[in-house]
Amino acid sequence: MRANRKLWAAATVCVAVVAGVTGCSTGDDKAADPFAGLTADAIADKAVDTTKAATAFRMNGAGKTDGEEMTVDFAVDDKGNCKGTMQAPKGGKAEMLATGGNSYMKGDDAFWKSSGGEEGASSDESDSMSALLKGRWMKMPAGAGEDEDNFCDLKKIVKDMDEETPRKGLTREADADVDGKPAAVLTKKDKGESTTFYVAKDSAKPYILRVVTTGGDDPGTVTLSEFDKPVTVTAPPKGDVVDMEELMKGAS
């Protein structure tokens, strides 16, 4: 009976890890490495291509922009839906939504006072912007700014990722876990900057799970999750929205 229980335990483990695993046995063998025989550069290629093909994901990150701390946490899909939060480099927090081709932002007082108005705006102008938008959503004009467009545009996000991800001269380090998921660890060091990629050890979906950059001008950490999970967004009520395009037309 004891031997039979051991065999049953081994069999259930085999069933659990059958995807991407070959040669499951009754011994203590570890799951096969889905990247066996591949160079670190080849693993990076697979990871980028797989992540680019995702129909949606959640991005959580913290880092520096122009020397100031910034954090983001948002989900975005390939249908133009997006929702999340950000903390601005100069202070304050904001929520962001995008759906139906429209983008909305709702910030606290600190956010609007630190970022309200055009560059060089006076404190009175920033205070006016904060008062106008207090507790309300700002509907952003179409093409209002490249940063806003990129924030909720999955195609642009993965395009930037494709262009910015180094794929040459990588080294594979010891494997690690990212939120409980086994990951291959790839590193790249260049002129005082070090970038580490964590790639899901999944033969079918080797997504990029995390990227950590240290040193250099823009250190930070970005974690990706909830791949291919649809993003459901409801536009805010019209009574809670300030349409900046209409406001600008009225001012002119």
Confidence (pTM): 0.78
Cα distances from 66 to residues 69, 216, 222, in angstroms, run: 8, 11, 17
Q: Tell me the per-residue pLDDT of 50-80, one tens digit each, with 9 for 90 and over.
A: 999 999 999 999 887 767 788 999 999 999 9
- Confidence at residue 248, expressed as pLDDT on a 0 to 100 scale: 65
Q: Tell me the per-residue pLDDT of 8-26, one tens digit each, with 9 for 90 and over.
A: 233 333 333 333 333 343 3
Task: Supply 113's token pair.
Answer: 């006072």
Per-domain boundaries in the chain: 38-67+154-230, 81-152
- Confidence label for 44 from pLDDT (cuts 50, 70 and 90): very high
Q: Tell me the per-residue pLDDT of 108-153, one tens digit each, with 9 for 90 and over.
A: 988 887 765 545 555 666 677 778 888 899 998 655 544 444 568 8
- Confidence at residue 216, expressed as pLDDT on a 0 to 100 scale: 78
Residue 207, helix vs strand vs coil: coil
Higher pLDDT, 194 or 27: 194
Judged against a pLDDT cut of 80, whether residue 37 lies above it is answered with yes
Q: What value does the mean pLDDT take over residues 163-167?
A: 83
- Confidence at residue 121, expressed as pLDDT on a 0 to 100 scale: 54
The CATH code of the domain at 38-67+154-230 is 2.50.20.20
Q: Tell me the per-residue pLDDT of 176-231, one tens digit each, with 9 for 90 and over.
A: 999 999 999 999 998 888 999 999 999 999 999 999 999 877 889 999 999 999 99
What is d(CA 197, CA 181) in angstroms, rounded to the nearest whole number? Answer: 14
200, 176 Cβ separation under 8 angstroms: no
